[in-house]
Structure 1
Amino acid sequence: MKTSIVVFSLALASHAAAHGYVYSINADNTVYPGWDVYIDQYMQPKPARIAFGGGGPNPIFNVDGKELACNFNPTAPGAIAEVRAGSDITFHWSRWLYSHKGPITAWLAPYEGDVAKVDVNKLEFFKITEDTVDDKGVWANVRMMDDKNMTWTATIPADIKPGTYVLRHEVSSGTAIDPTP
Protein backbone atom coordinates (compact mmCIF):
# COMPACT_ATOMS: atom_id res chain seq x y z
CA MET A 1 0.00 0.00 0.00
CA LYS A 2 1.41 3.41 -1.00
CA THR A 3 0.77 6.63 0.83
CA SER A 4 1.70 10.10 -0.41
CA ILE A 5 3.55 12.19 2.12
CA VAL A 6 4.41 15.86 2.06
CA VAL A 7 7.11 16.57 4.59
CA PHE A 8 7.87 19.67 6.50
CA SER A 9 10.10 20.17 9.44
CA LEU A 10 10.01 22.50 12.34
CA ALA A 11 12.67 23.43 14.80
CA LEU A 12 10.58 24.47 17.77
CA ALA A 13 11.86 26.35 20.74
CA SER A 14 9.95 27.01 23.90
CA HIS A 15 11.70 29.51 26.15
CA ALA A 16 15.02 28.93 24.34
CA ALA A 17 16.75 29.68 21.08
CA ALA A 18 16.90 26.63 18.83
CA HIS A 19 18.39 26.78 15.38
CA GLY A 20 18.37 23.98 12.85
CA TYR A 21 16.77 22.67 9.70
CA VAL A 22 16.44 19.46 7.73
CA TYR A 23 18.78 19.45 4.74
CA SER A 24 17.94 15.95 3.49
CA ILE A 25 15.07 13.47 3.81
CA ASN A 26 15.26 9.76 3.06
CA ALA A 27 11.68 8.57 2.47
CA ASP A 28 11.20 4.88 1.81
CA ASN A 29 14.80 4.54 0.52
CA THR A 30 14.62 7.58 -1.78
CA VAL A 31 16.71 10.61 -0.82
CA TYR A 32 15.19 14.08 -1.29
CA PRO A 33 16.85 17.42 -0.59
CA GLY A 34 15.24 19.37 2.23
CA TRP A 35 14.46 23.06 2.04
CA ASP A 36 17.76 24.93 2.35
CA VAL A 37 16.83 27.96 4.42
CA TYR A 38 19.90 29.86 3.24
CA ILE A 39 19.67 29.29 -0.53
CA ASP A 40 16.29 28.02 -1.74
CA GLN A 41 14.33 31.16 -0.89
CA TYR A 42 16.43 33.11 -3.40
CA MET A 43 16.23 30.62 -6.27
CA GLN A 44 13.94 31.37 -9.23
CA PRO A 45 12.03 29.31 -9.96
CA LYS A 46 11.72 27.84 -6.48
CA PRO A 47 13.13 24.32 -6.30
CA ALA A 48 10.62 21.43 -6.23
CA ARG A 49 11.15 19.99 -2.74
CA ILE A 50 8.99 17.58 -0.74
CA ALA A 51 9.42 19.95 2.21
CA PHE A 52 7.50 23.14 2.87
CA GLY A 53 9.84 26.08 2.40
CA GLY A 54 10.11 29.49 3.91
CA GLY A 55 10.97 30.58 7.37
CA GLY A 56 14.47 30.01 8.59
CA PRO A 57 16.48 28.35 11.30
CA ASN A 58 15.23 30.79 13.91
CA PRO A 59 13.15 29.64 16.88
CA ILE A 60 9.40 29.92 17.20
CA PHE A 61 8.47 31.24 20.61
CA ASN A 62 4.71 31.64 20.24
CA VAL A 63 3.26 28.14 20.67
CA ASP A 64 -0.21 29.55 19.94
CA GLY A 65 0.82 31.24 16.67
CA LYS A 66 0.02 29.90 13.21
CA GLU A 67 3.74 29.67 12.43
CA LEU A 68 3.96 26.68 14.76
CA ALA A 69 2.39 24.46 12.09
CA CYS A 70 4.85 25.28 9.31
CA ASN A 71 7.21 28.10 10.25
CA PHE A 72 7.00 31.70 9.01
CA ASN A 73 5.83 32.43 5.45
CA PRO A 74 5.67 28.81 4.28
CA THR A 75 5.78 27.96 0.60
CA ALA A 76 4.13 24.75 -0.54
CA PRO A 77 6.23 21.81 -1.69
CA GLY A 78 6.68 21.29 -5.40
CA ALA A 79 6.93 17.51 -5.07
CA ILE A 80 5.37 14.70 -3.05
CA ALA A 81 7.13 11.59 -1.78
CA GLU A 82 5.44 8.25 -2.34
CA VAL A 83 6.05 5.94 0.61
CA ARG A 84 4.77 2.56 1.70
CA ALA A 85 2.82 2.18 4.92
CA GLY A 86 5.23 0.79 7.50
CA SER A 87 8.29 2.35 5.85
CA ASP A 88 10.78 4.75 7.40
CA ILE A 89 11.45 8.42 6.82
CA THR A 90 14.84 9.66 8.04
CA PHE A 91 15.50 13.35 8.61
CA HIS A 92 19.07 14.63 8.28
CA TRP A 93 19.40 17.70 10.46
CA SER A 94 21.87 20.57 10.34
CA ARG A 95 23.91 21.06 13.47
CA TRP A 96 22.06 21.59 16.70
CA LEU A 97 23.14 23.22 19.94
CA TYR A 98 23.80 20.97 22.95
CA SER A 99 22.26 23.56 25.23
CA HIS A 100 18.91 23.04 23.44
CA LYS A 101 17.70 19.76 24.87
CA GLY A 102 14.29 18.27 24.31
CA PRO A 103 12.02 15.72 22.63
CA ILE A 104 11.60 14.80 18.97
CA THR A 105 8.14 14.09 17.54
CA ALA A 106 6.48 13.34 14.22
CA TRP A 107 2.87 14.07 13.29
CA LEU A 108 0.67 13.28 10.29
CA ALA A 109 -2.41 15.06 8.96
CA PRO A 110 -4.50 13.89 6.01
CA TYR A 111 -5.48 16.36 3.33
CA GLU A 112 -7.20 16.34 -0.05
CA GLY A 113 -6.54 18.33 -3.21
CA ASP A 114 -3.58 20.42 -4.26
CA VAL A 115 -0.94 20.71 -1.53
CA ALA A 116 -0.27 24.31 -2.66
CA LYS A 117 -3.78 25.19 -1.45
CA VAL A 118 -3.59 23.40 1.91
CA ASP A 119 -3.93 25.59 4.98
CA VAL A 120 -1.67 23.72 7.39
CA ASN A 121 -3.25 25.54 10.32
CA LYS A 122 -6.58 23.86 9.60
CA LEU A 123 -5.23 20.31 9.36
CA GLU A 124 -5.84 17.84 12.16
CA PHE A 125 -2.46 16.37 13.07
CA PHE A 126 -2.04 13.16 15.03
CA LYS A 127 1.23 12.05 16.61
CA ILE A 128 2.85 8.97 15.10
CA THR A 129 6.00 8.89 17.22
CA GLU A 130 7.80 10.63 20.02
CA ASP A 131 11.20 10.28 21.64
CA THR A 132 11.88 12.06 24.92
CA VAL A 133 14.40 11.56 27.69
CA ASP A 134 15.85 8.06 28.19
CA ASP A 135 16.43 6.16 31.44
CA LYS A 136 19.89 7.78 31.73
CA GLY A 137 18.43 11.29 31.54
CA VAL A 138 19.64 11.97 27.99
CA TRP A 139 17.23 13.87 25.73
CA ALA A 140 16.28 12.64 22.26
CA ASN A 141 17.93 15.51 20.39
CA VAL A 142 21.22 14.95 22.27
CA ARG A 143 21.12 11.27 21.28
CA MET A 144 20.41 12.42 17.71
CA MET A 145 23.63 14.45 17.82
CA ASP A 146 25.82 11.97 19.70
CA ASP A 147 24.63 8.59 18.47
CA LYS A 148 22.77 9.05 15.21
CA ASN A 149 24.91 11.39 13.10
CA MET A 150 22.29 14.18 13.24
CA THR A 151 19.52 11.93 11.89
CA TRP A 152 16.16 10.86 13.26
CA THR A 153 13.83 8.25 11.81
CA ALA A 154 10.03 8.03 11.96
CA THR A 155 8.09 5.00 10.81
CA ILE A 156 4.85 5.53 8.91
CA PRO A 157 2.17 3.45 10.65
CA ALA A 158 1.71 0.10 8.89
CA ASP A 159 -2.07 0.34 9.22
CA ILE A 160 -2.47 3.90 7.94
CA LYS A 161 -5.28 4.56 5.50
CA PRO A 162 -3.99 5.20 1.95
CA GLY A 163 -4.08 8.86 1.00
CA THR A 164 -2.09 12.06 1.06
CA TYR A 165 -0.67 13.39 4.29
CA VAL A 166 1.46 16.20 5.59
CA LEU A 167 4.16 14.97 7.95
CA ARG A 168 5.33 17.44 10.58
CA HIS A 169 8.65 16.72 12.25
CA GLU A 170 9.65 18.63 15.36
CA VAL A 171 12.78 18.95 17.38
CA SER A 172 11.77 20.76 20.53
CA SER A 173 13.91 22.36 23.16
CA GLY A 174 13.52 24.62 26.07
CA THR A 175 13.72 24.98 29.75
CA ALA A 176 11.79 22.71 32.02
CA ILE A 177 9.27 24.48 34.20
CA ASP A 178 7.76 23.27 37.41
CA PRO A 179 4.14 24.43 37.59
CA THR A 180 3.81 23.62 41.28
CA PRO A 181 4.16 26.52 43.74
Structure 2
Amino acid sequence: MPSLSNTLLALAASAPAVLGHGHVRRVIVNGVTYPGFERWSNEDQSQAVTWHFTTEDEGPVPVSSLNTPDIICHLGATNAQASIPVAAGSQLQVVRFNTIGGFEHPGPEMHYLAPCGDAGCANVDKNDLRFFKFYESGLVQPGMADSPQWESQKWATTEVHKSVQPEGEGFVDTFTVTIPQNIRPGSYVLRHEILGLHKAHEGEAEFYPQCINLEISGSGDQLPEGVPATEMYHSSDPGVALDIWVDLQSYQIPGPAVTNLSFKRDTTARATKRHPRDLKH
Protein backbone atom coordinates (compact mmCIF):
# COMPACT_ATOMS: atom_id res chain seq x y z
CA MET A 1 0.00 0.00 0.00
CA PRO A 2 1.47 3.42 -0.93
CA SER A 3 2.36 5.71 1.94
CA LEU A 4 0.48 8.95 2.59
CA SER A 5 3.57 10.96 1.65
CA ASN A 6 3.86 9.09 -1.65
CA THR A 7 0.20 9.73 -2.38
CA LEU A 8 0.47 13.43 -1.61
CA LEU A 9 3.55 13.76 -3.79
CA ALA A 10 1.77 12.03 -6.64
CA LEU A 11 -1.21 14.35 -6.30
CA ALA A 12 1.07 17.37 -6.23
CA ALA A 13 2.86 16.24 -9.37
CA SER A 14 -0.42 15.68 -11.22
CA ALA A 15 -1.99 19.03 -10.27
CA PRO A 16 -2.20 21.56 -13.11
CA ALA A 17 0.89 23.74 -13.05
CA VAL A 18 -1.12 26.82 -14.00
CA LEU A 19 -2.83 26.92 -10.60
CA GLY A 20 -0.14 29.34 -9.51
CA HIS A 21 0.21 31.32 -12.71
CA GLY A 22 -1.25 34.81 -12.75
CA HIS A 23 -0.56 38.47 -12.17
CA VAL A 24 -1.48 41.49 -10.05
CA ARG A 25 -4.64 42.72 -11.74
CA ARG A 26 -5.14 45.78 -9.54
CA VAL A 27 -4.11 47.49 -6.32
CA ILE A 28 -6.66 49.18 -4.06
CA VAL A 29 -5.74 52.03 -1.69
CA ASN A 30 -8.32 53.93 0.36
CA GLY A 31 -11.08 52.74 -1.93
CA VAL A 32 -9.29 53.84 -5.11
CA THR A 33 -8.41 51.15 -7.65
CA TYR A 34 -5.19 51.31 -9.67
CA PRO A 35 -4.82 48.99 -12.68
CA GLY A 36 -2.06 46.42 -13.04
CA PHE A 37 -0.32 45.46 -16.26
CA GLU A 38 -2.42 43.07 -18.38
CA ARG A 39 -0.12 40.92 -20.53
CA TRP A 40 -2.75 40.15 -23.17
CA SER A 41 -4.65 43.44 -23.26
CA ASN A 42 -4.74 45.59 -26.39
CA GLU A 43 -5.77 48.62 -24.35
CA ASP A 44 -3.55 51.50 -23.25
CA GLN A 45 -1.21 50.31 -20.48
CA SER A 46 0.26 53.71 -19.61
CA GLN A 47 -1.70 53.91 -16.34
CA ALA A 48 -0.66 50.47 -15.12
CA VAL A 49 1.12 50.72 -11.75
CA THR A 50 2.68 47.25 -11.90
CA TRP A 51 5.83 46.60 -13.93
CA HIS A 52 5.40 44.97 -17.32
CA PHE A 53 6.61 41.38 -17.79
CA THR A 54 7.11 39.10 -20.77
CA THR A 55 6.25 35.57 -19.65
CA GLU A 56 3.44 34.37 -21.89
CA ASP A 57 1.88 31.91 -19.46
CA GLU A 58 2.26 34.25 -16.46
CA GLY A 59 4.26 31.49 -14.83
CA PRO A 60 7.00 31.65 -12.21
CA VAL A 61 10.60 32.74 -12.16
CA PRO A 62 12.44 29.39 -11.94
CA VAL A 63 15.17 28.54 -9.45
CA SER A 64 17.69 28.67 -12.28
CA SER A 65 17.05 32.43 -12.61
CA LEU A 66 17.38 33.39 -8.94
CA ASN A 67 20.59 35.34 -9.54
CA THR A 68 19.55 36.99 -12.81
CA PRO A 69 17.62 40.23 -13.44
CA ASP A 70 14.43 38.20 -13.98
CA ILE A 71 14.05 37.70 -10.22
CA ILE A 72 13.86 41.46 -9.62
CA CYS A 73 10.36 42.21 -10.92
CA HIS A 74 9.57 39.06 -12.98
CA LEU A 75 10.66 37.80 -16.39
CA GLY A 76 11.76 40.55 -18.74
CA ALA A 77 10.26 43.21 -16.47
CA THR A 78 10.20 46.85 -17.56
CA ASN A 79 9.16 49.93 -15.62
CA ALA A 80 5.56 50.86 -15.00
CA GLN A 81 4.96 54.49 -15.97
CA ALA A 82 2.27 55.25 -13.39
CA SER A 83 2.44 55.07 -9.61
CA ILE A 84 0.17 54.94 -6.57
CA PRO A 85 0.06 57.86 -4.11
CA VAL A 86 -0.06 56.37 -0.62
CA ALA A 87 0.51 57.68 2.89
CA ALA A 88 2.93 55.84 5.16
CA GLY A 89 0.97 53.56 7.49
CA SER A 90 -1.75 52.92 4.90
CA GLN A 91 -2.93 49.54 3.71
CA LEU A 92 -2.86 48.33 0.14
CA GLN A 93 -4.87 45.43 -1.24
CA VAL A 94 -2.87 43.59 -3.89
CA VAL A 95 -5.35 41.64 -6.01
CA ARG A 96 -3.87 38.74 -8.01
CA PHE A 97 -5.81 37.20 -10.91
CA ASN A 98 -5.62 33.64 -12.20
CA THR A 99 -7.83 31.89 -14.75
CA ILE A 100 -7.78 28.48 -13.03
CA GLY A 101 -8.61 28.45 -9.34
CA GLY A 102 -6.46 31.34 -8.14
CA PHE A 103 -3.10 30.95 -6.41
CA GLU A 104 -3.37 27.50 -4.80
CA HIS A 105 0.32 26.84 -4.18
CA PRO A 106 1.61 26.55 -0.58
CA GLY A 107 4.40 28.91 0.44
CA PRO A 108 5.44 32.21 2.00
CA GLU A 109 4.42 35.79 1.24
CA MET A 110 7.09 38.51 1.27
CA HIS A 111 7.10 42.26 0.72
CA TYR A 112 10.04 44.54 -0.02
CA LEU A 113 10.59 48.24 -0.74
CA ALA A 114 13.34 49.91 -2.76
CA PRO A 115 13.80 53.67 -3.20
CA CYS A 116 13.89 54.83 -6.82
CA GLY A 117 16.09 57.86 -6.17
CA ASP A 118 16.33 60.86 -8.46
CA ALA A 119 15.56 58.80 -11.56
CA GLY A 120 12.02 58.09 -10.36
CA CYS A 121 10.34 54.71 -10.56
CA ALA A 122 9.25 55.15 -14.18
CA ASN A 123 12.88 55.44 -15.27
CA VAL A 124 15.05 53.75 -12.64
CA ASP A 125 17.29 50.91 -13.80
CA LYS A 126 15.93 47.81 -12.06
CA ASN A 127 19.49 46.59 -11.55
CA ASP A 128 20.13 49.62 -9.34
CA LEU A 129 17.23 48.91 -6.97
CA ARG A 130 18.19 47.93 -3.44
CA PHE A 131 15.37 46.17 -1.58
CA PHE A 132 14.72 45.82 2.14
CA LYS A 133 12.15 43.35 3.44
CA PHE A 134 9.46 44.81 5.70
CA TYR A 135 7.00 41.91 5.90
CA GLU A 136 7.07 38.13 5.69
CA SER A 137 4.80 35.24 6.61
CA GLY A 138 5.55 31.58 5.96
CA LEU A 139 4.48 28.39 7.71
CA VAL A 140 1.45 29.55 9.67
CA GLN A 141 0.73 26.17 11.26
CA PRO A 142 3.07 23.14 11.28
CA GLY A 143 1.66 19.76 10.37
CA MET A 144 1.24 17.12 7.71
CA ALA A 145 0.73 18.37 4.17
CA ASP A 146 -2.97 17.98 3.40
CA SER A 147 -3.54 19.42 -0.09
CA PRO A 148 -5.95 20.76 -1.22
CA GLN A 149 -7.57 21.59 2.13
CA TRP A 150 -4.46 22.91 3.89
CA GLU A 151 -6.11 22.69 7.30
CA SER A 152 -3.29 20.81 9.02
CA GLN A 153 -0.20 22.33 7.38
CA LYS A 154 -1.06 25.99 6.80
CA TRP A 155 0.87 28.55 4.78
CA ALA A 156 0.59 32.29 4.28
CA THR A 157 -0.57 31.76 0.69
CA THR A 158 -3.02 28.95 1.46
CA GLU A 159 -4.65 31.03 4.21
CA VAL A 160 -5.14 33.95 1.81
CA HIS A 161 -6.44 31.56 -0.85
CA LYS A 162 -9.26 30.36 1.43
CA SER A 163 -10.95 33.69 0.62
CA VAL A 164 -10.55 33.32 -3.16
CA GLN A 165 -13.32 34.96 -5.19
CA PRO A 166 -14.56 34.27 -8.73
CA GLU A 167 -14.13 37.16 -11.14
CA GLY A 168 -15.01 37.19 -14.82
CA GLU A 169 -13.20 34.38 -16.56
CA GLY A 170 -11.11 33.49 -13.49
CA PHE A 171 -10.46 34.03 -9.80
CA VAL A 172 -8.75 36.57 -7.55
CA ASP A 173 -6.76 36.30 -4.31
CA THR A 174 -6.25 39.45 -2.24
CA PHE A 175 -3.08 40.13 -0.24
CA THR A 176 -3.06 42.99 2.29
CA VAL A 177 0.10 45.12 2.61
CA THR A 178 0.76 47.84 5.22
CA ILE A 179 3.31 50.50 4.34
CA PRO A 180 5.65 51.19 7.31
CA GLN A 181 4.61 54.27 9.26
CA ASN A 182 8.11 55.66 9.70
CA ILE A 183 9.44 55.21 6.17
CA ARG A 184 11.05 58.27 4.57
CA PRO A 185 8.73 59.85 1.96
CA GLY A 186 9.63 59.37 -1.66
CA SER A 187 9.31 57.19 -4.75
CA TYR A 188 9.56 53.45 -4.11
CA VAL A 189 9.14 50.14 -5.86
CA LEU A 190 7.05 47.73 -3.80
CA ARG A 191 8.16 44.18 -4.53
CA HIS A 192 5.25 41.83 -3.79
CA GLU A 193 6.32 38.17 -3.87
CA ILE A 194 4.77 34.80 -3.22
CA LEU A 195 6.58 31.48 -3.45
CA GLY A 196 5.16 28.11 -4.46
CA LEU A 197 6.81 25.19 -2.65
CA HIS A 198 4.73 22.32 -4.05
CA LYS A 199 7.61 21.15 -6.27
CA ALA A 200 10.50 22.33 -4.09
CA HIS A 201 11.34 18.68 -3.32
CA GLU A 202 12.20 18.34 -7.03
CA GLY A 203 14.37 21.46 -7.00
CA GLU A 204 11.60 23.47 -8.63
CA ALA A 205 10.43 26.07 -6.12
CA GLU A 206 8.41 28.73 -7.97
CA PHE A 207 8.94 32.47 -7.39
CA TYR A 208 6.21 34.94 -8.31
CA PRO A 209 7.53 38.51 -7.82
CA GLN A 210 5.77 41.60 -9.12
CA CYS A 211 6.76 45.24 -8.72
CA ILE A 212 4.44 48.17 -8.04
CA ASN A 213 5.35 51.86 -8.20
CA LEU A 214 4.51 53.93 -5.12
CA GLU A 215 4.76 57.60 -4.15
CA ILE A 216 4.88 57.45 -0.36
CA SER A 217 4.01 60.54 1.69
CA GLY A 218 4.45 61.12 5.41
CA SER A 219 6.80 62.50 8.04
CA GLY A 220 9.02 59.44 8.62
CA ASP A 221 12.79 59.55 8.34
CA GLN A 222 13.78 55.88 8.14
CA LEU A 223 15.41 54.29 5.10
CA PRO A 224 16.98 50.88 5.80
CA GLU A 225 19.87 49.61 3.75
CA GLY A 226 18.79 47.25 1.01
CA VAL A 227 20.30 44.56 -1.19
CA PRO A 228 19.96 43.72 -4.91
CA ALA A 229 17.20 41.22 -5.60
CA THR A 230 19.75 39.12 -7.48
CA GLU A 231 21.55 38.49 -4.19
CA MET A 232 18.51 37.60 -2.06
CA TYR A 233 18.16 33.90 -2.77
CA HIS A 234 20.15 30.81 -3.66
CA SER A 235 18.91 27.44 -4.85
CA SER A 236 20.43 25.75 -1.78
CA ASP A 237 18.67 28.00 0.77
CA PRO A 238 16.75 25.96 3.39
CA GLY A 239 13.54 27.79 2.47
CA VAL A 240 13.98 26.97 -1.22
CA ALA A 241 15.39 23.42 -1.24
CA LEU A 242 13.08 21.37 0.98
CA ASP A 243 10.31 18.79 1.02
CA ILE A 244 6.99 20.09 2.36
CA TRP A 245 5.09 16.83 1.70
CA VAL A 246 5.83 15.56 5.20
CA ASP A 247 4.89 16.38 8.77
CA LEU A 248 6.66 19.73 8.53
CA GLN A 249 7.36 21.35 11.90
CA SER A 250 9.39 24.41 10.88
CA TYR A 251 10.33 26.53 7.91
CA GLN A 252 12.96 29.22 7.29
CA ILE A 253 11.67 31.98 5.04
CA PRO A 254 14.29 32.77 2.37
CA GLY A 255 15.82 36.16 1.75
CA PRO A 256 17.14 38.89 4.04
CA ALA A 257 15.78 39.46 7.53
CA VAL A 258 12.84 41.77 8.07
CA THR A 259 13.98 45.30 8.93
CA ASN A 260 13.10 47.21 12.08
CA LEU A 261 10.41 49.01 10.10
CA SER A 262 8.29 45.86 10.12
CA PHE A 263 4.79 46.01 11.56
CA LYS A 264 4.46 42.26 11.67
CA ARG A 265 6.58 39.21 11.21
CA ASP A 266 5.35 35.64 11.36
CA THR A 267 7.96 33.94 13.51
CA THR A 268 6.14 30.63 13.67
CA ALA A 269 8.80 28.08 12.81
CA ARG A 270 11.77 30.24 11.86
CA ALA A 271 14.32 27.48 12.51
CA THR A 272 14.86 25.09 9.67
CA LYS A 273 14.05 21.43 10.04
CA ARG A 274 14.70 19.21 7.07
CA HIS A 275 12.96 15.88 6.68
CA PRO A 276 13.96 12.83 4.71
CA ARG A 277 12.00 12.40 1.53
CA ASP A 278 9.72 9.45 1.23
CA LEU A 279 9.86 9.57 -2.53
CA LYS A 280 12.93 10.21 -4.68
CA HIS A 281 12.65 11.76 -8.12
What range is the shorter-chain TM-score in?
0.7 to 0.9
What amino acid sits opposite 2:110 in the alignment? T
- Report the counterpart of residue 88 of structure 1 in structure 2: 91
Is 2:145 the counterpart of 1:143? no
Where 1:160 maps in the other structure, the secondary structure is coil
Structure 2 CA distance for aligned equivalents of residues 35 and 142 of structure 1: 24
- Return the index of the structure with the highest Cα Rg: 2
Structure 2 CA distance for aligned equivalents of residues 28 and 55 of structure 1: 30
- Report the counterpart of residue 40 of structure 2 in structure 1: 38
- Report the counterpart of residue 46 of structure 2 in structure 1: 47
Structure 2 CA distance for aligned equivalents of residues 35 and 85 of structure 1: 24
Question: Aligned-residue CA RMSD in angstroms?
Answer: 2.2
Structure 2 CA distance for aligned equivalents of residues 152 and 116 of structure 1: 24
- Report the counterpart of residue 108 of structure 1 in structure 2: 113
Deviation, structure 1 residue 53: 1.1
- Report the counterpart of residue 163 of structure 1 in structure 2: 186
Structure 2 CA distance for aligned equivalents of residues 37 and 132 of structure 1: 29
Larger RCO (alpha carbons 8 Å, 6+ apart): 1
46 and 134 in structure 1: CA distance in 2 versus 1, 3 angstrom threshold: closer
104 and 74 in structure 1: CA distance in 2 versus 1, 3 angstrom threshold: same
Deviation, structure 1 residue 166: 0.5
Structure 1 CA distance for aligned equivalents of residues 88 and 132 of structure 2: 16
- The answer to whether the 8 A contact 2:103-2:161 is kept is no
Where 1:90 maps in the other structure, the secondary structure is strand
- The answer to whether the 8 A contact 2:120-2:187 is kept is no
What amino acid sits opposite 1:141 in the alignment? T
- The answer to whether the 8 A contact 1:133-1:140 is kept is yes
- The answer to whether the 8 A contact 2:80-2:121 is kept is yes
114 and 97 in structure 1: CA distance in 2 versus 1, 3 angstrom threshold: closer
Deviation, structure 1 residue 54: 2.1
What amino acid sits opposite 2:138 in the alignment? T
TM-score (norm 2): 0.53
- Please list the CA deviations of residues 74-115 of structure 1 after superposition, one character each: whole Å capped at 9, or x if unmatched: 2321211110000011111113353x2111111000112232
Aligned match for 1:69, one of 68, 72, 82 = 72
Deviation larger for 113-122 or 49-58: 113-122
141 and 180 in structure 1: CA distance in 2 versus 1, 3 angstrom threshold: closer
Deviation, structure 1 residue 21: 0.8
TM-score (norm 1): 0.79
Is 2:125 the counterpart of 1:119? yes
Where 2:153 maps in the other structure, the secondary structure is coil
Structure 2 CA distance for aligned equivalents of residues 93 and 85 of structure 1: 23
Structure 2 CA distance for aligned equivalents of residues 162 and 97 of structure 1: 32
Aligned length: 162
